[in-house]
Chains A and B, each alone.
Chain A
Amino acid sequence: MSRPVRLLARPEVGALVAALAIFLFFLAVAPAFRSAGSLFTVLYQSSTIGIVAVGVGLLMIGGEFDLSAGVIVTSAGLVNSLFCWYFGVNLWVGALLSLVFCLAVGFLNGWLVMRTGIPSFLITLGTFFVLQGVNLGVTKLVTGSVSSSDISDIDGFFSLQSVFASSFGIGDVTVWTTVLWWILFVALASWILQRARAGNWIYAVGGAAESARAVGVPVVRTKISLFVAVSFLGWFVGMHNLYRFNTLQAGNGVGNEFLYIIAAVVGGTLLTGGFGNAIGVAIGAFIFGMTSLGIVYAGWDPNWFRAFLGVMLLLAVLVNHYARRWGSR
């Protein structure tokens, strides 16, 4: 098989072609898209989806789903915000507490899946509902409303904001640090998948868990770690949302779990596990960010928003699919 054809079988190549096509398309139709400022707005939007999507992608390569990944972002922010507001303590205490909480939820997801053998789709659907209900119920109990209170006067706010929600300007371009964090997480995930032993384990447990177990791969530990990683990244974005917007709506985050999965799938991750990589997932998130904002930059009728988005995503998946088939022929 010739080299370029073999290249097409890589998970991210189809997505890259699609991303390039969409990018050129919006460059052509949307004048407002053609500035560095717009590109960085798109990158920011992509990063808020992409950070969690990296974890969700790894988890899917490992053969599992996490439907609670959207609401845990909101839970993470709420735990921090409500705890510190109610007890009047430094926000760093709440941030750490929230981290412990999120890691525990991730562990519980993984542990239940491994312990019971029930598909992760069902277990995390359960966690999704529990978290959604608890988010609303606890927020109402603590603040008397369904949104968290403004915490910007509490100690620790500015140091946390500089870690999770700061931005800097280069000329008239605003760069949000989430974009840099996103790149870092993608690089880390790529390194794990390609170079570390754990990477082989992830592909092995997603492709064929039983044979992986037979050759000594720690299946339980690997899968639980993947759930914990998703929760960690959810916590990270939750911190960003909290420290960028000061207050949180308890009902938010629902629906984003699908965006993470879409980003992973568009980026070449197989729904059945065992195939995909982190760069592909990042490109998938970038395609989502580009499409959702490109429509606005183009100034099209907003009622068609979802329809355009659907067509774009479908095209991306198709291009990806045929490129892979052609490449592996």
Chain B
Amino acid sequence: MRYRLLAAGAAAVLLLAACSDGGREEEPDASGGSAKQPTGYTIAFVTHETPGDTFWDKVRAGAEQAATDTGVELKYSNDPDAGKQATLIQQAVDSKVQGIATTLVTPDALAGSVKAATGAGIPVVGLNAGIDQYKSLGALMYFGSDETLAGESIGERIAAAGGKHPICVIHQQGSVSLEARCAGVKSKVAGTENLQVNGADDAAVTTALQAKLAQDKTIDYIVTLGAPIALDAIQAKEQAASQAKLVSFDLNKEMAQAVKDGKVEFAVDQQPYAQGYMAVTSLYLYIKNGNDLGGGGPVLTGPSFVDSSNIDKILPFTEKNTR
């Protein structure tokens, strides 16, 4: 009797397990092409990534692809804590790498380590954050987006569309770059208001936004600063029956689909994949060929607008985790 039950159970599981739609699509291995001959260069790549963020995942993917394409050995490390990030840079100097790419999110804390690198004759490239400070720290080049500029360009579009009262959703308390984005929006639309949410909990983000939309019915735009937060905002809007329009920073697969479906008006992409890719490639070119991209000035990777006009072209790239 017991065996019969077991058999029935197993059969039921097998039946349920019989192929179902909507899962992974089987595809031939499409990972980034063949590796070049190793050049013997080792490049350290140090970021302030908080583990588990889709944005940083793309920066890293870009850096790794560039390393594969140029035949460079990449040493990736990260720590959101400024002191620990400085130690990671120092470690790269100590292990005598040929080049260092690093985010300069906390310039004062990192200045000492960056100086140690340039002092040891190791070229340093800044990326993602530190656009105003990279030169004084001694970094050769910079690849990233100007957060204030990006915020302003969003604000301009909102103002042009007649928006008066946007809320700007900050999902990480005390982040300088997120504050800069919201300040950029506010400089173009005076009625902009910030809202602080707990980005590590989707339910908390959704209810906080829903509460805000209920509290103030005059909100006409929601500006989110990351793709997962935008997806939560879609839910919050539905719950609050709000007519506010949604715009956002960053992209991922689901977010690109939401732009295509018209649930998100537009997304501003600072092209993280390009930040990682260019930082590594530029170091490679500098070591090999003495090139300095941007001629000392920052090379901007954004803001790049993604909306109904170009989403069809970009959507496939988000599926490959490169946009």
A interface residues with partner B (beta carbon < 8 Å):
30-32, 35, 37-38, 41-42, 44-45, 48, 84-90, 92-93, 132, 135-136, 140, 144-147, 149-157, 172, 174, 240-241, 244-256, 292-293, 296-299, 302-303, 305-306
Contacts and interface: CB of A to CB of B under 8 A. Distances in A.
A90 B50 CA distance: 33
Given A302-B194, A303-B194, A41 B214 contact: yes
Contact of A292 (B200, B204, B215): B204
Interface stretch (B16-24, B276-284, B307-315): B16-24
Nearest to A247: B254
A254 B196 contact: no
A146 B20 contact: no
B67 to A, nearest CB: 17
B13 interface: yes
A152 to B, nearest CB: 7
Q: Give the 7 A-B CB pairs with smallest separation, nearest first.
A: A251-B52, A153-B22, A88-B23, A302-B196, A32-B215, A90-B16, A155-B20
Contacts, number: 163
B52 A249 contact: yes
A146 B54 contact: yes
A87 B52 contact: no
Contacts of A149: 24, 253
Nearest to B217: A32
A296 B214 CA distance: 9
A19 to B, nearest CB: 18
A51 B24 CA distance: 32
A88 B24 contact: yes
Contacts of A30: 215
Given A251-B50, A293-B208, A88 B203 contact: no
Contacts of B203: 44-45, 48, 240-241, 244
B253 A150 contact: yes
B235 A297 contact: no
18 contacts: A32-B214, A32-B216, A38-B214, A41-B210, A41-B239, A45-B203, A132-B51, A174-B239, A245-B235, A251-B52, A252-B200, A253-B200, A255-B201, A256-B200, A293-B211, A296-B215, A302-B195, A305-B173
Interface residues of B, number: 47
Contacts of B241: 172
B156 interface: no
Contacts of B253: 145, 149-150
A45 B207 contact: yes
A250 B252 CA distance: 14
B24 A86 contact: yes
A147 B23 contact: no
Contact of B17 (A89, A174, A251): A89
Given A85-B24, A292-B208, A245 B214 contact: no
